Amino acid sequence: MALSRTAYVNLLRAQAGYHEGRDPSGNWNNQQKFSPAVPGLEWSQGQAWCHVFVSWGADELDARDVIPITASCATGVSWWKKRGRWTDYPVLGAPFYMGSAGQDHVGVVYKYDADSIWTIEGNTNNNGSYQGDGVYHRVRPRRGAGSPYGYGVPDFTEETVSADPNLGGTKAATVPTATPGDEVNSTPPTQEKPMTPAEIQAVADAVWNYQLPNLRTDGTQDGTKKSAYWWLIWQDVFQAQLLAAINEAALTPDDVRQALADGTLKVQLTVKAA
């Protein structure tokens, strides 16, 4: 069955903020809604579920032949390679695989540029753990430490968009956000304008006194708080990404611009961080 890149990515992104269950002691337990919903993967309930999430999206859209239906990242990598649909370069809308052989973790790319990939991932957390607690938007480096092992190349209904020179060599691209009534197959990938220094300063001014929970390295709160401005100046490379990470708000630069223009940035952060 045919699979639209835009439909697939936006279905997965719509799950951001979903969390797995907890055991009687309050610990995350890998019990989630995706395993029981995918025929053949019901057995994976209670196990690591990052690839189940990726497979669930394809199954929901009746495209089990376009994305590997498996709970195993290693099996997923093998599936792509056997079909000759594998690359070392980002592919828009495609699964990316982490680990020395791609065995550790998987998510889906919804945006990339020369340095980074923007992703939607299951079984991760704000710190990018391979054993997390829910569905999150993340930003990961394209190269070096913490970068993917490689990428599958799905046969979407839209033309393949990839940084791979053999697949068009598109330097940067974004999957558009679908709205009700849109023909999701018809909108081409768009590129997002970076934030200007003045806009970055406006964000800092808007959230100067907004207090956010301080997180330990394992993602748990340590009981203290720091202002959002402290977070902004601590990591000033991807300002909108940082806001997304600390608030689970997934705000893009365009979202921030609109919120600043509307005067609603504080309100958005307060609601989404609550």
**How many angstroms separate the CA atoms of 194 and 196, rounded?**
6
**How many angstroms separate the CA atoms of 212 and 231, rounded?**
9
Q: Give the start-to-end residue ranges of the domains of the chain.
A: 5-174, 197-273
Strands (E), 115-197: 116-124, 134-141, 150-152, 173-174
Q: Is the pLDDT of residue 110 over 70?
A: yes
Contacts 24+ apart (CB under 8 A), 24-31: 28/132, 28/133, 30/123
Over residues 85-96, the mean pLDDT reads 98
Give yes or no for a contact between 119 and 107, defined as CB atoms under 8 angstroms apart.
yes
Residue 31: band (very low, low, confident or very high) from pLDDT cuts 50, 70, 90: very high
Q: For tokens 């209670």, name the residue.
A: 46
Percent of the chain past pLDDT 70, that is, above it, reads 65
Residue 177: band (very low, low, confident or very high) from pLDDT cuts 50, 70, 90: confident
Q: Is the pLDDT of residue 202 over 70?
A: no
**How many angstroms separate the CA atoms of 110 and 93, rounded?**
5
Domain 5-174, CATH 3.40.50 — does that match?
Answer: no
**How many angstroms separate the CA atoms of 138 and 127, rounded?**
9
Residue 230: which residues within 8 A CB-CB, separation 6 or more?
Answer: none
Q: Structure pTM?
A: 0.67
Q: Is the pLDDT of residue 162 over 50?
A: yes
**How many angstroms separate the CA atoms of 150 and 249, rounded?**
27
Strands (E), the chain: 86-87, 95-98, 105-112, 116-124, 134-141, 150-152, 173-174, 211-215, 221-227
Over residues 61-71, the mean pLDDT reads 97
Q: Count CA within 13 A, CB hemisphere, residue 172.
A: 10
Give yes or no for a contact between 123 and 48, defined as CB atoms under 8 angstroms apart.
yes
Q: For tokens 């089990």, name the residue.
A: 64
Is 172 in a helix, a strand, or coil? coil
220-263: pLDDT as tens digits: 666 665 555 444 444 333 344 444 444 444 455 566 666 666 65
| Average pLDDT score, the chain | 79
Q: For tokens 């792509």, name the residue.
A: 80
**How many angstroms separate the CA atoms of 213 and 218, rounded?**
14
